[in-house]
Amino acid sequence: MENSCNWENSFTLGPCSNRPAGDHEWSFKPNGGITEIKLRRGVLIESITFKSIDEKGNIETSNKFGGDAGCIEHVISLNWPEEYLMKLSGTSVTYAEFPGIESLCFETNFKKYGPYGNTDGTPFEFSVKDGVIVGFHGRFGIYLNTIGVYVKNSAKLFWPPSRSPVQNVTPKVNTGKMMNMDTPRELGPWGGNDTAKPWDDGVFLDIIQVDVHVKKGILLGIQLRYQTKNGNSVDSERHGEKSGDALYRIKLDRSSEYLIGIMGYYRPIEGNGGFEAVCSLSFYTNKGKYGPFGDQIGMFFSSPLTNGKIIGFHGRSGDYLDALGVHMEYS
């Protein structure tokens, strides 16, 4: 694992609440890897403190972010660099008219720590499956009001270096069970940038091809090929850009395979003016899974895997695929 002190290659997720909160803004950007997290809590998470170690063995201890209350203490010790943070989740509540953190849970590449505190509030999550959480930020007053993370992309550790111009993708076998449930026929869109151009491909008999454009571990755009009821094939507009360094092509045999769901991540993209865009997608069919296409870093979303069939897509796009949703058909 490379040293996490190169902050030029990091980006910000969160905080968990956009409401004004706390008297002080806080940030922990260590010169090395995080080795300890200390929480004090009562009804809320009252304070948080961190330790880190750099490649020369120097130990750094953060300030205490939060107040002096809290009768329960939790200490998480991490064996950096073998063990590193990949997910932060928790619940937030309103306390004395200000946001507060009710519980926190930390997950590494090895195990899960927590949740610490009650979990009755509004859930939040920052998941970075193909990255590393290398720092934290937020606001605090007499208790910890908000929290977010700094993430470093580890795409070069997870992504194959060589890519052909067009890669036809085969599915991983689906062994999961689908849910029987009543679900809206239009789901989503999931993503960000409400100012981006909305689009809707409509509904079709089948989806027979999906092209996915990816560059440097970030999904840039998709294009669909549909089959109409009269047997003609129709290509959608390209949603997002095609100037990626990899094109992945999913071909579906309409007689035996069809899309049932999507899963992905969205986060702020520097080339998108800092607006959130879909940066990773996986496609699920009745036979298996295609993807992920793009690094799984950011806010997670998923359409429910039901006994339905995706018959069209809608969303928002510009230079990137800002948001994506699906049209469903149920038998």
For the chain, which domains are there? 10-158 (2.100.10.30), 185-330 (2.100.10.30)
Which of 245, 63, 82 is closest to 136 using CA atoms? 63
The predicted model scores a pTM of 0.56
Distance between CA atoms of 110 and 285, rounded to whole angstroms? 30
DSSP state of 157: H
pLDDT of residue 321: 96
Sheet holding 197-200, edge to edge: 186-191, 321-330, 308-317, 197-200
pLDDT tens for the 331 residues of the chain, in order? 444 455 666 778 888 765 555 678 999 999 888 999 999 999 999 999 999 988 777 899 999 999 988 889 999 999 887 788 999 999 999 887 778 999 999 999 889 999 999 999 999 998 877 678 999 999 999 999 999 999 886 533 333 333 445 666 666 655 444 433 344 588 999 998 888 999 999 999 999 999 999 988 899 999 999 999 998 999 999 999 877 678 899 999 989 999 999 999 998 888 888 889 999 999 999 888 898 999 888 888 888 766 789 999 999 999 999 999 999 998 7
* Lookup: tokens for 317: 């796009």
